[in-house]
Structure 1
Amino acid sequence: MTAPPAATRGTDLGLVVGTVAVVALTIGAGVAAERAPSPVAYAFAVGFGAVLLARRRWPVGVLVVTVLGIFTYYALGFPAIGQALPAAAALYSAAELGRTRAALAVGAVLVGVAAYFRIAEGLPASYLLSYELLTNVALVAAAVALGVSVRVRREARADQERLRVAALAEQAAEAERRLEAQRVRIARDLHDSIGHTVSVIAVHAGVAAEAVGRDDALVASSIAQVRDATRSTMRELRSTVRLLRTSGEDAARGAVGLTGVPALAASARAAGVEVDVRLDVPDGAVDGAIGAAAYRIVQEALTNVLRHAHAARASVAAHVADGWLDLQVRDDGTGAGEGASLAGQGLRGMAERAGLLGGTLTSGPADGRGFVVHARLPARLDA
């Protein structure tokens, strides 16, 4: 069993010393007794205090022993000390430790027995009702009320501490969820970025391989495009690493947005696909996270065009209306073909990205020829 804290021991010793001192002083001041104060009477005072040392383990037992001690004290004819006074600390202890009913019941017995013997002694009823009975009842009620009040305050503090701990645990869990979401977002961004670059590199590498020995200028141009695409991806990878070391707000500011779409289009054009870009999105019209998601959707869609669509032309259009960003990527190709599985994974990733932000993404064959990806995202996350 662990030792009680210092504050608890101090409270217990204070009750012991206070009870002994009050009862002893009352005994010494007694004048109407069958005999003069004796060491035995003072021993009772010490006993009333000492028994309180066990109040936390046996609060009701301490209260019963105290009341029986009071009855015994008066039966031996020692100086009057009041019926409720020696039991005040025991009544308080029982109520403080959650034994309120027992405290009230024992207090009622104590007051009732005292009143009975006072009436038997011939004490006037008017005096009994107006002074002694009222005093005993008030003392019992005050002791019990004080104990209940202390217990309620202590339980309230304990509840507040539990709520604080629960709030801290919830904050830690939320931080972990945000960290996991950040990991998923970074993984998806890296997939989109590297996938797009690999597609560009594959196209230009194929062109260079076919032109070797026949068109050195075309070979040099294709290799230059591969070099530029690689450098661009390395810059983005370094930027991603920097974002990992910044706060969420700084990361949102540093993320690629719709302003990066023309560069994606230029990369696709260099790979042989003519891309038309129409962005009707004023500066500040969409949140940073929305712009970053739109950029990644365009990147993945153009990557699929380069890899699987066998398209000659593609278009990217975006505008804001009624609090929503409407984004569309269309091509004139022949579909996914042999890359249907990989393209499907990319489309699922885009749909998940849109759904996490409260938007939607649909994709499928365009009217007549080609393929279209259509995303609707909220312009503001707090909308």
Structure 2
Amino acid sequence: MPRAKPASPDGVDPRVVDAVLAVAMALAVAVVIAADLERTGRAVPAAYLFAAGFGVLVLARRRAPRVVLWLTVLGIFAYYTFGFPPIGIALPAIAALYSAAERSHLRSAAIAGVVLTAVAAYARIEEGLPTAYVASYEFLTNVALVAAAIAFGYSVHLRREARSQQERLNALTVLEQELAAENRVNTERMRIARDMHDVVGHGMSVIVLHGNVAAEAIGHDEAAAARAVQRIRDAAATTMRDLRATVKLLRTPGAGADEREAVGLSALPNLCRVARDAGVVAELRMDADPERVDGAVSAAAYRVVQEALTNVIRHADAACVRVRVRMAGDELEVEVADDGRGSVAAQDRDGHGIAGMTERVTLLGGTLSARNGTAGGFVVRARIPARLRT
């Protein structure tokens, strides 16, 4: 099934427009021929065939504007060769000149206009008309009409190009907004994933550890089993509290200091206490004032220590872990060092912990390293700007 041609911007089918223009052109030329203003007596049927031909050419002006233009020029010259009544040069050529310029063939339209006006002026002078008259009246009139047709056509072309460029720009803007929205969603998903991993992973590690202790103690040391169960209850309660705080922070980006207190430098002693309850000697040295650190940096430092301690409890087989937080110039330095068996593979078996810490620190403009210690064990060290740039 053939596809219909697109409508013009005003909703009219271009074929209808061209048909009307073709009829108008043929009728206008025919009327001028019939008028025979110079009384040549040559208004014969053949002259009207030329009028019809000029109209037919208009029908092809969109598909082949340059071909129509030069056929029109040749048709005008042929018409005058037969000595038919004068019809001017602008009237039969105006549609062709406009169409060529409107289709961005400005050079062809200009050349055709120069040829038509020059030949017409030369022919009129050869007929015996005064040069001054031809130059000051007919020539200037023809130049003005030809220039107006070309200028109008090219202005339409420029408006159409501007509209097309604006449409492309709008489409690119929409695409950019969609990509930005998608990036924001992905960033938020990664942030939620890191927070859930940090909160749930740490709590579950402690619960599993004490669960194993309780399982081994039941029937042999009821007091130890009871202590392990109590620690499981405490760890579960702490995990739920941290999870609620995290969800609250996610729902309220502008949360104040009270909400951030549960996830920040001030909460590091609680993390070390949980590690000690799990059987690891945890030492904390705090040489940084939380008030000198932005909330996001404080929360990131907390998550780094939390994940590092979780890995120590789960994988390191360490007896002791040292946590040190200090200011190093304008940066906050966090170091977690244990005396366990070391190796990145052992410390990060799930493949997400160290990567999550690195992402979290990097987003704040900091750096993180995780490697074996020089004297054994494993060391996680992060440096983050204490104040974020706005």
- What is the TM-score when the length of structure 2 is the normalising length? 0.78
Secondary structure at the residue paired with 1:169? helix
Paired position in structure 1 for 2:313: 306
State the shift of 1:131 in Å.
1.4
Structure 1 residue 160: deviation in Å? 2.6
Identify which range, 362-371 or 351-360, moves more after superposition.
362-371
Q: Which amino acid aligns with 1:105?
A: I
Q: CA 1:93/1:239 → structure 2, altered by over 3 Å: closer, same or farther?
A: farther
Q: Which residue of 1 aligns with 2:233?
A: 227
Structure 1: 5+ residue runs without aligned partners? none
Counterpart amino acid of 1:336?
R
- Unmatched runs of 5 consecutive residues or more in structure 2: none
**Distance in 1 between the 2:307 and 2:68 partners?**
78
What letter matches 2:204 in structure 1?
Answer: V
User: Are residue 281 (structure 1) and residue 286 (structure 2) matched?
Assistant: no
1:128–1:354 distance in 2 versus 1, CA, 3 Å: same
Q: Secondary structure at the match of 1:376?
A: strand
1:152 aligns with 2:158: yes
Is 1:167 the equivalent of 2:173?
yes
Q: Is the 8 A contact 1:320 1:379 kept in 2?
A: no
Within 1, Cα distance between the matches of 2:373 and 2:230?
34
Q: Please say which of residues 104-113 and 310-319 is displaced more in the overlay.
A: 310-319
Q: Distance in 1 between matches of 2:313 and 2:202?
A: 8
Report whether the alignment pairs 1:91 with 2:100: no
Q: Helix, strand or coil: the match of 1:326?
A: strand
Residue 182 of structure 2 aligns to which amino acid in structure 1? Answer: E
Amino acid at match of 1:2: R
Q: Does 1:31 align with 2:32?
A: no
Give 2:65's aligned residue.
59
1:317 corresponds in structure 2 to: 325
- Cα 1:19–1:261, aligned 2, differ >3 Å: closer, same or farther? farther
- 1:116 alignment partner, one of 113, 122, 125: 122
- Residue 294 of structure 1 is matched in structure 2 by 301
* Rounded Cα–Cα distance in structure 1 between residues aligned with 2:389 and 2:44: 82
The answer (yes or no) to whether the contact 1:298–1:316 under 8 Å persists in 2 is no
Whether the 8 Å contact between 2:305 and 2:323 is mirrored in structure 1 is no
Matched, 1:357 2:358: no
SS of 1:267's partner is helix
Verify the 8 A CA contact 2:50 2:79 in the aligned structure 1.
yes
> Could you state the TM-score of these two structures normalised by the residue count of structure 1?
0.80
- Who is 2:77 aligned against? 71
Q: Determine whether 1:101 maps to 2:107.
A: yes
Q: Distance in 2 between matches of 1:174 and 1:234?
A: 33
Secondary structure of 1:335's match? coil
Match of 1:336 in 2: 341
- The 2-side partners of 1:130 and 1:72 are apart by 26
CA distance in 2, matches of 1:27, 1:48: 13
Asked if 1 retains the 8 angstrom alpha-carbon contact of 2:332 and 2:383, the reply is yes
3-state SS of the aligned residue for 1:138? Answer: helix
How many percent of aligned residue pairs carry the same amino acid? Answer: 49
What is the CA distance between 1:350 and its match in structure 2? 2.4
**Mean Cα deviation higher: 367-376 or 53-62:** 367-376
CA distance 1:16–1:257, shift in 2 (3 Å): farther
Contact 2:203 / 2:236 at 8 angstroms: preserved in 1? yes
Partner letter of residue 323 of structure 2? Answer: S
Residue number among 362, 369, 385 corresponding to 1:378 in the alignment: 385
**How many residue pairs align between the two structures?**
375
State the SS of the aligned residue for 1:4: coil
1:126 aligns with 2:132: yes
**Structure 2 partner of 1:5:** 6
149-158 vs 41-50, greater mean Cα deviation: 41-50
CA gap of 1:53–1:236, structure 2 versus 1, over 3 A, is farther
Structure 2 equivalent of residue 216 of structure 1: 222
Secondary structure in structure 1 of the residue aligned to 2:307: helix
Contact residue 325 and residue 332 of structure 2 kept, 8 A: no
